[in-house]
Amino acid sequence: MAVIKMIVSSVLIASFIGISTAEQSEVPIGLFDSQADVFALPNGEIPEVPIDEGNGEEDENAFILSTSKPLGQVAGLGIDSTGNLIAFHRADREWNEDTFTKDFKLNKALGVIPNATIAVIDPNNGKVSAEFGENLFYLPHGLTIDHEDNVWVTDVGSHQVHKLDKNFKPVMSFGEKMMPGSDEKHFCKPTDVAVAKNGHFFVADGYCNSRVLKFDSKGNLIDIIGSEMDPFIIPHSLSLIEDLNLLCVADRENERVQCFSAGLKEGHRSIPAGIPITSADNIGRVFAIRERKHFLVGVTGSDAEEAVESQVFVIDIESGKAQTFLKGIENGHAIAISPEGTLFVAQINPNQIVSMNLN
């Protein structure tokens, strides 16, 4: 494992109106410290340095998780109920200017990826224990694991969303294969999925549609989230905070996180999906967000003017306080958080997974 040592600094990145309800569960203290130190990577690089075992104490804050088998561009990450880290990667395929035509269709010269695109990884030592996904995907993107260990993935190459069972066998697919579109039966480079316990799911759609779609468990469209007056510009990642009835969207090119009512409550206290609740603005190009115990964690890239440095941020959803946790981690594309509070960040170019403790 290559260790990352970081310089301590402190930055407040955004204001965020706290969310509270009479029904929300009490948040245990200690998983994330609201006064946690903030770290910066020198020169925006991740140095590979040996672990110092001189005093027997571990003072490193993050390290590169070296996998036992090479992975391609890791576009999606998740953690299953047994603690395995699941990586959705592109094998030897890379997304470049020739991948799609001007009408968003995959280059005909590119067929299905013949190699494995899903890796099951031991998060403690990087050992790849199993691989799946051969001859299934064209350009992997988002990955989400639901409460039943079903694995949901988006394929921007085929413009589809797939639900896989816990053995990684396809059970349902949504969207017309290889056909981009903007009606209720089509997607255009969908980016991510969020799944509720009642089976309803949300799709961020995506690179060429500025919307988030809500479906029932059978794939029937229920709602469309998005405003023509203030549209998303690449909704790139989703995080569902179900007990708060909140869906947060990483609105990448608008450099913000927007949170909306998810429309999951029933009865007299129900609120329709898509009502704006709160947001964090001007925080950089947000590539990925995930929530753990009412803390929203995200990773950003540098903006076009490089005025905002890439960073990992943590927002306390209840208080609205936002902090930078780590600065200078470039090209972070996906994240996953373990129940113990370990954050995994997948970077693209360099293709690697960084692990850090948020406690």
Binding site as annotated, residues for Zn(2+): 141, 236, 333
Distance CA(186)–CA(13), nearest Å, equals: 36
Torsion of CA 223, 228, 233, 239, to 10 degrees: -30
Residues forming the annotated binding site?
77, 90, 141, 143, 207, 236, 252, 333
- Return phi, psi of residue 34, to 5°: -65, -15
> Which tokens go with 4?
């990352």
In the three-class reduction of DSSP (H, G, I as helix; E, B as strand; rest coil), residue 81 is classed as coil
Q: Indicate the annotated binding residues for Ca(2+).
A: 77, 143
What three-state secondary structure class fits 251?
strand
- Return d(Cα 110, Cα 174) in angstroms, integer: 21
> ∠95-97-98 over CA atoms, to 5°?
85
Q: Which amino acids are annotated as binding site for a protein, given as ranges? A: 90, 207, 252
What is the b/e burial string over 176-199, where b = at least 16 CB atoms within 10 angstroms of the residue's CB? eeeebbeeeebbbbbbbbbbbeee
> Whole-angstrom Cα distance, residue 93 to residue 75?
12
Asked if 114 contacts 105 with a C-beta cutoff of 8 angstroms, the reply is: no
Q: How would you classify the pairing of strands 311-316 and 322-327? A: antiparallel
Q: Report phi then psi at 268, rounded to 5.
A: -70, -15
